[in-house]
Amino acid sequence: AQSVTQLDSQVPVFEEAPVELRCNYSSSVSVYLFWYVQYPNQGLQLLLKYLSGSTLVESINGFEAEFNKSQTSFHLRKPSVHISDTAEYFCAVSEKVGNKLVFGAGTILRVKS
Amino acid sequence: KAGVTQTPRYLIKTRGQQVTLSCSPISGHRSVSWYQQTPGQGLQFLFEYFSETQRNKGNFPGRFSGRQFSNSRSEMNVSTLELGDSALYLCASSRGQGGQETQYFGPGTRLLVL
């Protein structure tokens, strides 16, 4: 069985400041790792995913996440946030077979002007 | 390409009733998964269907059931509703069944049980 821990329930940050949203996972098998974002009253959208290869993955809107196997972590970072990044962010894992995503509890990112 | 659509978007039911939610996946996608989202329990996997067969099931009671049709559209049914079933129900579709597949989520159906 897998589990995902998002260490911060809320992260307030000023606009143009850097941010890191932390995610740790536990699994007895190899997994794929994902970050999803949920804007108010909407479904989830994929931000980025790690399948294999380079441990640093990037999204098109400036977010990046680094897979650290030894620390079983997949932290999400952005060097400079915008007001529009205000949303809830979910870290998730999936086994290599099947489509079952196991989600963390979510981190609400609040960007203040 | 149209995204995942879910109907209805909002629903109010009373305890003991049953409800059916519908999900239309992205064209060409054959896998449909369902999730329940609540403030207390977060996002929890309900079940996954691929080619009209349930491939995976989460830890929910038998009151929660689903099916998938030949056109990949899916429905989930909750019988004998309880107050705790109030939640946002999200449907996600993907092209195939591997864990590496990106799941595309619909906007959800918000169910309120009174």
- pLDDT of A72 above 90: yes
DSSP A93-112: EEESBS--EEE---EEEEEE
pLDDT of B94: 94
Would you call A8 an interface residue with chain B, using a CB distance cutoff of 8 Å?
A: no
**Contact check, Cβ <8 Å, A106/B45:** no
**Contact check, Cβ <8 Å, B94/A99:** yes
pLDDT of A15: 97
Cα(A110)–Cα(A14) distance, integer angstroms: 8
Which of A31, A41, A99 comes nearest B31 by C-beta? A99
pLDDT digits (tens, 9 = 90+) for A45-57: 999 999 988 899 9
Would you call A108 an interface residue with chain B, using a CB distance cutoff of 8 Å?
A: no
B111 to chain A, closest Cα gap in Å: 13
**Contact check, Cβ <8 Å, A43/B106:** yes
Cα–Cα distances in angstroms (integers) from residue A112 to residues A17, A81, A98, B79, in the given order: 10, 10, 39, 44
**Contact check, Cβ <8 Å, A42/B107:** yes
Contacts of B50 (CB under 8 A, 6+ apart): A99, B30, B31, B32, B68, B97
Which of B35, B58, B98 comes nearest A96 by C-beta? B98
Cα(A20)–Cα(A11) distance, integer angstroms: 9
| Both tokens assigned to B108 | 């959800």
pLDDT of A32: 94
pLDDT of B97: 81
Cα(A90)–Cα(A107) distance, integer angstroms: 7
- pLDDT of B93 above 80: yes
